[in-house]
Structures are given as C-alpha cells and as structure tokens.
Amino acid sequence: MSLSLSLYQRLMGTAHLIAPGLLERRVRRGKEDALRWREKLGQTDLARPAGPLVWFHGVSVGESLSVLPVIAALSIERPDLTVLITSATTTSADILAKRLPKGAIHQYAPLDTPQAVKSFLDHWQPDLAVFIESDIWPTQLRELTRRGIPHVLLSARITEKTYKGWQRFKGAMRSLLAGYSLIMAQDKASEDRLKAMGVTPGPRANLKTLGAAPPVEAKALSELKKLIGKQFVYFAASTHYGEDSLIAKALEPALWGGDLLILAPRHPIRAGEIRLDLEAMGLKVAQRSKTEAVTSQTHVYLADTLGELGLFFSVAGITIMGGSFLEDIGGHNPLEAARLGKCVITGPDISNWSGIYADLLDADAGFRVKGTAELGFLLSQLRQHPEAVKAANDRALAVSRKEADTLDVVWVALEPLLPKKTPKQYDGD
C-alpha cells in the first residue's frame, strides 16, 4: 500500500469515531434521513436476500437516475439477481423510491471509513459492484479488491481538474484504477486522461444519454393545467439556492405583465428561504407542497416537491435549466426536458454535461447565455417568437433520440462480469 493510501486509511479510521455525532447533528439540521442515517455507518435493518446480488452506486440524483435503464434491463434479463443501489443524498433516495423496479433495494452509501465499508460489505456481500461517473472511494475500492469482488466504473467522467488532482497521488490512483475490471469513459477527453493514467478503457458510453422521459401522469397534468389557467409559463428546473432570485429578477417584467414562473428547486428543503427571498422582491408566491392556489395575481409557483419534473416540463412555454448560473455546480441534465420535446436555456456553467450540451447547441436545440442580464434579453425575444421555440423543441427531441444504442454497448461489456446464472447458496449474516 502506498504511503498516501496508508495515511488515508488511518485518518478515515479515526474519523469513524466521530462520524455518528456528525451525522446526528446533520439529522437535526434536516440534512440526513432521521430514520436511516445509520446506513452511512454500514448498518441496516434489512436482511440480505438469498442469491447473487449486484451493487450499483451513484452519489447523487443525476448519477443514480442515469443508471436506471441498466438496472431495468438487468431486472428483465436476469431476474435471478438482486439489485442494491446506494446513493448519498436524501433527495436521490426519495426519487429512487419512486422509480426503482420492483425488488430493487436502496440504501445510503457507507462512509469511506474502514469500519463502515467492512460492515456494509460483510452484510450485503455483493457479487459485482458498479460505480457511476468519477466516484473514487479508496477504502471501498481497496476492500473490494481484497475480497476479490469485481468492480466496474461506468460512464467515467474525468475532468481536467480531477486529473490534475490525481497527479498529486499518481501511484495511489494508478493502483486504485488498476483494480477495476472494466472502465467505460463517457467522452473522449475522459478516455484520454484515463489512458494517461495507465488504464485501458472499454468502449465509450455515456449513461446520461440513456433513459425515458420523466413520468407524466395524465390526471396530475390535467389538474396542473387547471391550476395555472391561461398564464404563459416559464419553468426554471433544478435551481440551486441563489439562482432562484437571479432568474426571477431576469423575468420580473414578464411576471409583472401576467406571466408565471414555475420554480423547482434542486433541494426542496430550502423552499422556505427561497419563498422569503422572492417575497422580499415583492413577488406573490404560491407553494405546491402547501397546495396553495395559483391565481392571475401569482408571479411564482414554487414547486417544492419531488418526482414531478415531467409535469412542469409539459406545461412550460420556455424552460430554464438551473445549476448553470452559479459557479462550481456544472449544470443539470437537459435531456430530461428534451425527451419531452422541450429545449432549454442554460447559463454559462455546463461542465458536468458539456458533451450533451455540445450536441444540443450544435443542433440549435437549446440556448446558452453568459449570465442573467443576457438571460433576460433572450427570454423577452423568445416570448415574442414562439415559432423559434417550437423549432428548437423539435430539434431537442430529435437529439434526445440519437443515442439509442448506448444501453446495448453497456450491456455487452457488463454481461460477462455478472454472476453466473447457476443459483448459489447464501449463508446470511
């Protein structure tokens, strides 16, 4: 073991001693699941089902949702396997609870401490571990290798910043990456950086191009249309705190003129703060979680719920994608809108989705602005030219359908690593 990995292991072993207190403090602040926070220590009340088990891990919402088509295919092709998926955030847990196939199990991912990882692996005993994007946890990876459990990195996204960070611990990172049975980069830049680290990647595949459109329940859509009436709708999706006010400010002339902004914050727990900020601007707000009515006098409908993005994309005349107007967020998935035939407007920071945005922007199937001043101008222009929006919507839908073979590429590479179909006996804890 390299010196850096040895020091990391010792530090994380010590950190585990204070982890329960830190997690309990986060529970009191509403940042952890009050009933399930011990899962992050590798503890669970759920029994491990008999038979082979495949563990998927996506740290947050985007990564978790991107792998759902793979999980769905697995549940159809290999019903003998149990699927376990872990994530780190309460938001991802809430959304996955609604969208996982029957029989799949969600748990919060263990902290990367030796104690938590050992407890987690002792209990769940996965036959294969599948990580998404660039979630490199040294304790987990070393323990999987020590136990002889094959592990895979799908849709690997290695940014220049990540790569430069790895250079400070080149030997340790080479060792960790060498433990993977398969790494599939999501773009050429990531592939090139992996090769520079001595990795021979498998075929390229970007999981973010997979997936169906967000669900839209007909009755709920009808009710939403009745609620908002005839107002023209701007929809700001997955906004981060601070963007809400910026976007509302850019839209003020339209909102005071009778249009409606539906605002879906990435973290609904901050809805109270967002509402106060909007009302301080003089805007009238109705909150979905409180079932408040929308009237012709309402400026902002605060959609502080989960799993309903499909509804709001469906009623939007113009869609703005959040996570792109502040620094160091990197934007969010524009394909969710595109699959419902909606183009999006994005801010300058699209680093997490640069490949997909490149396809959309090259096809004139979306719009990118440098900041909120330019956003306000573009919104006013598009409001006056609905035909331009419709044409961009059609092109966005076409782009969203381009990557139909990605799932096949992933499946062909992954299938040889799956547990054999021969039933195996499980001894339990």
**H/E stretch holding 155:** strand 151-156
- CB-count burial class (<10 Å; 0-12, 13-18, 19+) for 239: buried
Above 60 in pLDDT, residue 427? no
Largest CA distance in the chain: 67
pLDDT tens, residue by residue, 104-119 = 999 999 999 999 999 9
The CATH number of residue 283's host domain is: 3.40.50.2000
For residue 75, is it within any domain? yes
Q: Does residue 176 share a domain with residue 265?
A: no
pLDDT recorded at residue 118: 98
**Quick one: how far is CA 285 from the chain centroid?**
27
Above 70 in pLDDT, residue 143? yes
Domain count, the chain: 2
Q: Does residue 119 share a domain with residue 226?
A: no
pLDDT tens, residue by residue, 169-227 = 888 999 999 999 999 998 888 999 999 999 999 999 988 888 778 999 999 999 999 99
Q: Does residue 381 share a domain with residue 241?
A: yes
**H/E stretch holding 90:** helix 90-99
Residue 380 is part of which domain span?
218-400
- Pick the residue with more confidence: 401 or 371? 371
Q: Does residue 356 share a domain with residue 409?
A: no
Computed over every residue of the chain, the mean pLDDT equals: 93
Q: Does residue 165 share a domain with residue 35?
A: yes
Both tokens of 332, joined, read 């969010």
Q: How far apart are CA 402 and CA 359, in angstroms?
A: 10
pLDDT band at 134 (very low <50, low <70, confident <90, very high): confident
Asked if residues 88 and 60 have their Cβ atoms less than 8 Å apart, the reply is yes
The CATH number of residue 75's host domain is: 3.40.50.11720
For residue 427, is it within any domain? no
Single-letter amino acid code for the residue at 58? G
pLDDT recorded at residue 426: 47
Q: Does residue 174 share a domain with residue 87?
A: yes
Q: Does residue 157 share a domain with residue 117?
A: yes
Q: Does residue 147 share a domain with residue 246?
A: no
**Least confident segment among 49-53, 87-91, 244-248, 383-387:** 87-91
pLDDT recorded at residue 159: 86
Above 70 in pLDDT, residue 423? no
Above 80 in pLDDT, residue 1? no
Q: Does residue 227 share a domain with residue 151?
A: no
For residue 429, is it within any domain? no
Phi, psi of 255 (to 5 degrees): -70, -40
For residue 424, is it within any domain? no
Q: Does residue 322 share a domain with residue 185?
A: no
Above 60 in pLDDT, residue 56? yes
Q: Does residue 223 share a domain with residue 79?
A: no
Q: How far apart are CA 51 and CA 23, in angstroms?
A: 32
Q: Does residue 200 share a domain with residue 119?
A: yes
Q: How far apart are CA 186 and CA 154, in angstroms?
A: 8
| pTM, full prediction | 0.72
Both tokens of 426, joined, read 């499980």
**Quick one: how far is CA 266 from the chain centroid?**
10
- Pick the residue with more confidence: 170 or 130? 130
Three-state SS for 267-330 is CHHHHHHHHHHHHHCCCCEEEHHHCCCCCCCCCEEECCCCCCHHHHHHHCCEEEECCCCCCCCC
For residue 422, is it within any domain? no
Above 70 in pLDDT, residue 422? no
- CB-count burial class (<10 Å; 0-12, 13-18, 19+) for 55: buried
Q: Angle, nearest 10°, between helix axes 3-28 and 170-178? A: 80
